[in-house]
A = this chain, B = another copy of it.
């Protein structure tokens, strides 16, 4: 079986070789730019791993793995417009470097490209894979809309939040694995367990992201620590703190959430202190652990040797202890 590093290399090579037209340049340059910004290539690697779990040959999963990566990048380029984000992976976002119109339209083309790549599978699997992909694509859009709706709401519940990240982030990890599994000739049931593994892992992954944004070490995290606090982003941490804070903590939290003018380091420090007093980090870790365990439960339902499943288990463990 291939290591994660080997799988990442396969994906990177394939992306380098992806043929895109030259004309019109305003449409295809942003696509090349975005796909070459790098990233962990987590989703396509999961597709290859999902396939490799059931089959030694992974050749047939490579184009569908790219489909998932191209789709993911389509969501990034459109989300970045909606979120008004200037930076993606340390570089200017597409709508900043070109303009919003190019970002909308090159995103649209990437969506079609994703379908073209996904279709490079045998006829016998085509409909099933497209059906899973369609369902996931719609859920990802729903997740993004719900996330945007949260911005204008005063209070969001923990369960609503978990549902949102399930849609916006987690289902695509599940889908990536499920598609790979089916290409590797898994049964429907096995592929469904792998989907649930990926989805639950995705929720755990996002909770870890929320934790790292506050408690990560700046030099390892790769972006500014405390960004979510500064933006009042309704993460698991803030939602939980909102739920638990009483008395002085509650008043302080409210004040920091409504104060418009502040030194960023003051706000980050003050809100982090409130989180500490309410033991929020621990609670987030328990929640994360809960979803990681659900993920492992599902992979354990698949009747294959432990050694065969080892790379995926390892991948899950790495996600949970990562520092960036």
Contact = CB atoms under 8 A, between A and B. Distances in A.
Interface of A: 21, 23-24, 26-27, 78, 81-82, 100-102, 104-105, 107-109, 111-113, 115-116, 119, 123, 126-127, 130-131, 134, 137-138, 141-142, 144-146, 148-149
Which of A24, A107, A146 is most buried by chain B, counting CB atoms within 10 A of its CB?
A24
Contacts of A21: 142
A24 B130 contact: no
Contact of A104 (B78, B102, B109, B123): B78
Contacts of A108: 78, 107-108, 111, 137, 141
Nearest to A111: B111
A70 B148 CA distance: 24
A176 B126 CA distance: 22
Rank and list the top 8 A-B pairs by shortest CB-CB distance, nearest first.
A82-B101, A27-B145, A24-B145, A112-B137, A109-B141, A112-B138, A116-B134, A108-B141
A134 B112 contact: yes
A238 to B, nearest CB: 21
Contact of A24 (B24, B27, B127, B142): B142
Nearest to A116: B134
A215 to B, nearest CB: 30
Contact of A112 (B81, B127, B141, B144): B141
A108 B144 CA distance: 11
Contacts of A112: 134, 137-138, 141
Given A111-B108, A115-B115, A148-B101, A142 B82 contact: no
A299 B21 CA distance: 32
Contacts of A115: 115, 130, 134
A138 B24 CA distance: 11
Contacts of A137: 108, 112
Nearest to A124: B123
Given A101-B148, A119-B130, 4 more contacts: A102-B145, A112-B138, A119-B127, A126-B127
A133 B104 CA distance: 20
A119 B113 CA distance: 17
A37 B119 CA distance: 33
A142 B141 CA distance: 24
A168 B104 CA distance: 16
A138 B104 CA distance: 13
A127 to B, nearest CB: 6
A130 to B, nearest CB: 6
Contacts of A23: 142
A81 B104 CA distance: 9
16 contacts: A24-B142, A26-B148, A81-B101, A101-B148, A102-B145, A108-B108, A108-B137, A109-B141, A109-B142, A111-B111, A112-B137, A115-B115, A119-B130, A119-B134, A123-B123, A123-B127
A78 B26 CA distance: 16
